[in-house]
Structure 1
Amino acid sequence: MLFKTNIFVLCFLINEYLHHVLSQNDVINEERKIKLAQGYPLDSLLNFTELTAEYGYRSEEHTVITEDGYILTIFRIVKGKRCLGPIRRPPVLLMHGLLLSSDCWLDSGPDSGLAYLISDACYDLWVGNVRGNYYGKRHVSLNVTDIDFWQFSVNEIGKYDMPATIDYILKHTSSKKLNYVGYSQGGGTFFIMCSEREGYCDKIGVFIGLEPDSRNTNTKSIFCRIAAELYQDFQPLLTEIGLYEAVPWGGVVQQIAAFLCKDYVIADTFCRGVMYIIDSPHPNSVETETIRVLVGHFPAGTSVKNIVWYSQSLNVDVFQNYDYGTAGNMEMYNSTKPPAYNLSATTTPVVVINGRNDFLTPPPDEEWLTSHLPNVIEHYIVEDPLWNHVDVAYSKLTSKNILPKILQYLYEYSDVI
C-alpha cells in the first residue's frame, strides 16, 4: 500500500512539474509571438541552445555549483557543424566579459561568432557564464532579492566561479587540462584565480587573453568612466533602497535598447552611435543585424559592487582587490589598502591579443599587464588599426583578425582524440 502511495505521489509531482514547465513555455512562446509581430529579430529572443540549434549546431546545457553556492548554467558544443575531422583535446573554455553572457559568442552568427568558429575547428568547446548574469542568478540558499546574493565582484568570480567551472569540465571530460580563452573580464578573473587559488593554473594548457582586463588606469571611454563612477557615488543610496543589481537583463536599460534597436534604421544610426561612444568607432565592423540581435542579450547584468570595483580600478595603477575603505580594508585584509593580485602566479603559457583602438582595455594597460606576467609566449597586436574592444564578440571581421591567432595556439596545445 505504501509503495502504491509513493508511486502516486511521484507521478503527481512529475505531472505538476511538467505542467509548470509547459505553462512557462507557453508564456515564453506567447511573448515571443508578440515580439516577433512587433519586429524583434528572432535571434534576439533565443537562448544559447535555441540559437545553436537554429543554425544546425548541437549544444548541451550543464549546471555548475560553486564552492559558495552559486548555480551557473554553462554550455557545450561537442562538435561544430563544419568540423569534418576528429575532435581535438583538451577541451576549450570560452569566457565572456563584463555585462555579457555566453550568448555574446553567437550574436554575430555562424560566420563570425567565436563559439561557432572554434567548434567548427573541431574543438570540444565549453562556453561559461558567471554569477549575476541571467544564466547565473540562482543559489543553493539565497534569493536574488537578498543583499548577500549580490555581495561579489571580480574577486569572487575569479576565486569561485572559474575554479568550479574548470573542475566540472575536467571531471565531465576526464581531462587533466583544458585550454582557456578569456575576453576582457573573462581574462582578468583568470589572473585572479591564479593568484588566489593555488594549483589552478596547472590545470590550463594555454591561456589566450582577448583584450584581457587587469588594471584600468588608462581607460579612454568617457562614457564608461562616468557610468562606473556614478555607481560608486550612488552605491550607499542604491543599497539603502534595495537595488543591488546593475543593469540587469530584462531591466529598463535592456528593454529600451532592445525595443529601439530592433528597428533597422535606428540600429544602424543611433544604436551604432551609442556603441561607438561606449568604446570607439570602427565603421563596417559590426553588422547592423548583429546590433539588432545583441541587444536582446545585452546588458546581461552584474552586481553594483562589481561595477564599483571597476570604478575603483580607474584610479589606481595596480590590479588589486576590492577597496572597502581604510576601516573595511583593515577588517577584511588587515591592511589599510586592498592587496594587489599576484600576477607572477600566472605560470600558465599566456597569449595576449589586443587592438590599438581599444578604449576599454587600451594598449598601455595591456603592455603593463604583459610586463608583469612571467610566461607570455606572444603579445599579438591586431593588424587592423581600428580593432577595438567590442569587436572581439561582435565583429564580422573576427575570422580574419583574431581567429587565426587563437587557432594557432589552440592547435599547438592540443592533440587529436
Structure 2
Amino acid sequence: MMLTTLTIGGIIIGSQLVLAQRFPPSQYFRPIRACRAHQPLQTNRSTDLLACTRETFRVSNIQDLDVDKNIVQISHENGYLIDSYNVTTSDGYILTLFRISGGRKSPARRGKPSVLLLHGWGNSCEAWIALPNDKNLVFMLADAGWDVWLGNFRGSSFSLQHTILNADRNLNFWDFSFHELGLFDFPVMLDQARRVSENDKVFVIGHSQGATATLVAASEVPGINEKIHAAYLMAPAVYIGGAYDPLTTPMLPIASTPGEDLIYNLLQGRIQLRNPRLLFSSLGIQPKDICQSRTLRCKLCDLPTLTPFIFNHNQMNYTNIPRMVSKLFDYATVKSFLHQVQNARSCSFRYYDRGARENLRRYGSRQPPSYNLNRVRGPIYLFWAEQDANVTPSDIQRLVSALPSETVRAVIRVNDDTFNHEDFSVGRDANVLVYKPLIDMMTEFNDRFEAGI
C-alpha cells in the first residue's frame, strides 16, 4: 500500500513539474482548497528555438572563475573584509554568520549601520552572491557603507552542527520548520550582529522564507521588535494561498495528512539540492554540468534542476548560469516546505499542524493557532513581483491587511511584468529594479534616524 501511494504521488508530482514548465499556469492541476486561486498576468513566454540557439552560441564559451569559490574566497579576492562567527541557539543548533565590514569603496570603521540578510528556502547565504560581483546585493551594500551580516539558518550547508545531534545520523536534527527559524535562529543572529557591531538596532532584509522567519520572530519573540530598525521583505512567504508554483500545488492534497510523515521519513528530513537527482548522481552528473547557457535557454535543463526555484526566462542572465547554479542550490528542509504547504491549503498563517491529538497537547487546541501579526512593530517594507508563482499579489494584499497599518511603510511592486519569485536573487536586472531602490530607502531611513527626524 505504501509503495502504491508513493508511486501515484510520484506520477502526480512529476506530471505537475512537466506541465509547470510547458503550459500556462491556468492549466495546472489544482486541488480544491479554501483560497481563491490567483490568475497571473498573461505575458509572452514563448521560446524561439532558432533565437535560442543564436543567443546561447554567443555566450556558451564564457567561463566564470568564481563558480567553484565560496563566499569567503570571493569576498577576499574582491577586496572585502569578511569574518565568520558561530552562534548557538537555545535548542542547540550551531549557526554560522558572515560579516563583511568593509571593502575598497567603504573601508571598515566603527559606527556603520548594520544590516542582516536572511536567505530563502533551499538556499544558504551564498544565494545573495549568485549574481556577478558588481550586481549582487551583498557587495552593493558593502560599497554603499553598510556593515553587512549574512545569516545561515539551521539546515543550510554552513549551519549543520548541533551540540548533541548529528545532521547525517539523527533524523531529529531536521525536525524543524520556519517556526523554529523565527523563534530561535533569528534572535540569536540578530543579537550577534548587534553585539559585535555595537549597534542597538539592526536593519533586516529577508527573501521568501527569510522574510517569513522575520515576521514569526516579530510576532512571537518578546522584545525583538525593539532591536530592528526596519525590515525590508522580498516576496515574504507568509500567506501563500494563491500559490501556483510547480512544487506547492501538487503537494496540497497531502497537507496535514499522514502522508507528510511518510515524505519526511522517506527523504530523511531534507533534500540535497546541490545534487538533487539520484539518477544524475549515479551518472556522476552535477546540475551545473547540464545547466549551461545553451541547454537552459532552450529549456533542456529547467525541469531537472531549476523548477523548484521558479525562475524566469526574461530575467535570466545566460552568461551567469554556472555561478547561479553553484551558489543558489543548498539543503532544502522538508518540514519547512510542508509547513508552507499547510498554510497554502488552509489559506492561513499559523503554527505547524501536527494532527489533532498532538496539537491539543502542544497548543491546547485541535487546530494550530495563527501567528498574531498584530504584535509586529514596523517599519516594514514589502517588495512583490507580478509573476511570483509562490507569493502572489493577492497574498501580498492579505499580508498587508493582517499587519498593523502603522507598521507598513511601503508596498513596492517590482517594475517588470515578468518578475518572479527567485528573480529577487538571480534576476538579471535585480540590481536596478530592487537592490538600488532598496538601498536608497535604507540610506534615507538611516539618515533621518541619525538626524533625529
* Cα distance per residue 1:144-171 (max 9 Å; x no partner): 1212211100000000000000011111
1:258 aligns with 2:282: no
Mean alpha-carbon deviation: is it higher for 278-287 or for 350-359? 278-287
Judge conservation of contact 1:133–1:248 (CA < 8 Å) in 2: no
Q: 1:383 aligns with which of 405, 410, 415?
A: 415
- Tell me: CA distance 1:159–1:103, structure 2 relative to 1, closer, same or farther (3 Å): same
- Tell me: CA distance 1:349–1:124, structure 2 relative to 1, closer, same or farther (3 Å): same
* Cα distance per residue 1:309-343 (max 9 Å; x no partner): 12212201211110001111111101011110011
Judge conservation of contact 2:112–2:145 (CA < 8 Å) in 1: no
* Cα distance per residue 1:17-76 (max 9 Å; x no partner): xxxxxxxxxxxxxxxxxxxxxx99542322210122233323211112111111111111
- Give me the whole-angstrom Cα distance separating, in 2, the residues matched to 1:402 and 1:113: 11
Aligned to 2:439: 407
1:352 aligns with 2:382: yes
- Tell me: CA distance 1:409–1:271, structure 2 relative to 1, closer, same or farther (3 Å): farther
- Give me the whole-angstrom Cα distance separating, in 1, the residues matched to 2:381 and 2:193: 22
- Give me the whole-angstrom Cα distance separating, in 1, the residues matched to 2:119 and 2:184: 16
Aligned to 1:196: 220
Q: For residue 399 of structure 1, give the secondary structure of its aligned residue in structure 2.
A: helix
- Tell me: CA distance 1:193–1:351, structure 2 relative to 1, closer, same or farther (3 Å): same
- Give me the whole-angstrom Cα distance separating, in 2, the residues matched to 1:79 and 1:102: 18
Aligned to 1:245: 270
Aligned to 2:29: none
Q: For residue 153 of structure 2, give the secondary structure of its aligned residue in structure 1.
A: coil
Matches within 5 A, 1:198-347: 198-226=222-250, 234-238=259-263, 240=265, 243-252=268-277, 256-270=285-299, 273-274=302-303, 277-278=307-308, 282-347=312-377
| Post-superposition offset of 1:302 | 3.2
- Tell me: CA distance 1:336–1:211, structure 2 relative to 1, closer, same or farther (3 Å): same
Q: 2:199 aligns with which of 175, 199, 205?
A: 175
Q: 2:68 aligns with which of 13, 36, 45?
A: 45
Q: Which runs of 5+ in 2 are unaligned?
A: 1-61
- Tell me: CA distance 1:271–1:309, structure 2 relative to 1, closer, same or farther (3 Å): farther
Q: For residue 327 of structure 2, give the secondary structure of its aligned residue in structure 1.
A: coil
Large movers: runs of 4+ above 6 Å? 84-88, 228-233
Aligned to 1:398: 430
- Give me the whole-angstrom Cα distance separating, in 2, the residues matched to 1:186 and 1:372: 19
- Tell me: CA distance 1:174–1:305, structure 2 relative to 1, closer, same or farther (3 Å): same
Q: For residue 73 of structure 1, give the secondary structure of its aligned residue in structure 2.
A: strand
- Tell me: CA distance 1:277–1:69, structure 2 relative to 1, closer, same or farther (3 Å): closer
- Tell me: CA distance 1:74–1:261, structure 2 relative to 1, closer, same or farther (3 Å): farther
The TM-score, its normalising length taken from structure 1, stands at 0.83
- Tell me: CA distance 1:111–1:229, structure 2 relative to 1, closer, same or farther (3 Å): farther
Q: Structure 2 counterpart of 1:129, which letter?
A: N
1:159 aligns with 2:188: no
Judge conservation of contact 1:86–1:122 (CA < 8 Å) in 2: no
The TM-score, its normalising length taken from structure 2, stands at 0.77
- Give me the whole-angstrom Cα distance separating, in 2, the residues matched to 1:377 and 1:168: 27
- Tell me: CA distance 1:387–1:368, structure 2 relative to 1, closer, same or farther (3 Å): same
- Tell me: CA distance 1:241–1:180, structure 2 relative to 1, closer, same or farther (3 Å): closer
Report the RMSD for the aligned CA atoms in angstroms: 2.7
- Tell me: CA distance 1:281–1:163, structure 2 relative to 1, closer, same or farther (3 Å): closer
Q: For residue 378 of structure 1, give the secondary structure of its aligned residue in structure 2.
A: strand
Q: Which runs of 5+ in 1 are unaligned?
A: 1-38
- Tell me: CA distance 1:168–1:227, structure 2 relative to 1, closer, same or farther (3 Å): same
Q: For residue 306 of structure 1, give the secondary structure of its aligned residue in structure 2.
A: helix
Aligned to 1:370: 400
- Tell me: CA distance 1:41–1:92, structure 2 relative to 1, closer, same or farther (3 Å): same
- Give me the whole-angstrom Cα distance separating, in 2, the residues matched to 1:281 and 1:136: 26
Mean alpha-carbon deviation: is it higher for 278-287 or for 315-324? 278-287
Matches within 5 A, 1:79-94: 79-83=102-106, 89-94=112-117
- Tell me: CA distance 1:123–1:216, structure 2 relative to 1, closer, same or farther (3 Å): same
Aligned to 1:34: none
Aligned to 2:152: 129
Q: For residue 112 of structure 1, give the secondary structure of its aligned residue in structure 2.
A: coil
Matches within 5 A, 1:16-27: none
| Post-superposition offset of 1:403 | 1.9
| Post-superposition offset of 1:248 | 4.8
Q: Structure 2 counterpart of 1:209, which letter?
A: L
| Post-superposition offset of 1:279 | 6.1
Give the length in aligned residue pairs. 379
Q: Structure 2 counterpart of 1:266, which letter?
A: T
- Give me the whole-angstrom Cα distance separating, in 2, the residues matched to 1:199 and 1:270: 48
- Give me the whole-angstrom Cα distance separating, in 2, the residues matched to 1:269 and 1:48: 30
- Give me the whole-angstrom Cα distance separating, in 1, the residues matched to 2:125 and 2:107: 25
Q: For residue 345 of structure 2, give the secondary structure of its aligned residue in structure 1.
A: coil
Judge conservation of contact 2:343–2:349 (CA < 8 Å) in 1: yes
- Give me the whole-angstrom Cα distance separating, in 2, the residues matched to 1:227 and 1:80: 45
Judge conservation of contact 1:229–1:308 (CA < 8 Å) in 2: no
Give the percent of matched residue pairs that are identical in Structure 1 and Structure 2. Answer: 25
- Tell me: CA distance 1:411–1:153, structure 2 relative to 1, closer, same or farther (3 Å): same
- Give me the whole-angstrom Cα distance separating, in 2, the residues matched to 1:281 and 1:155: 26
| Post-superposition offset of 1:138 | 0.5
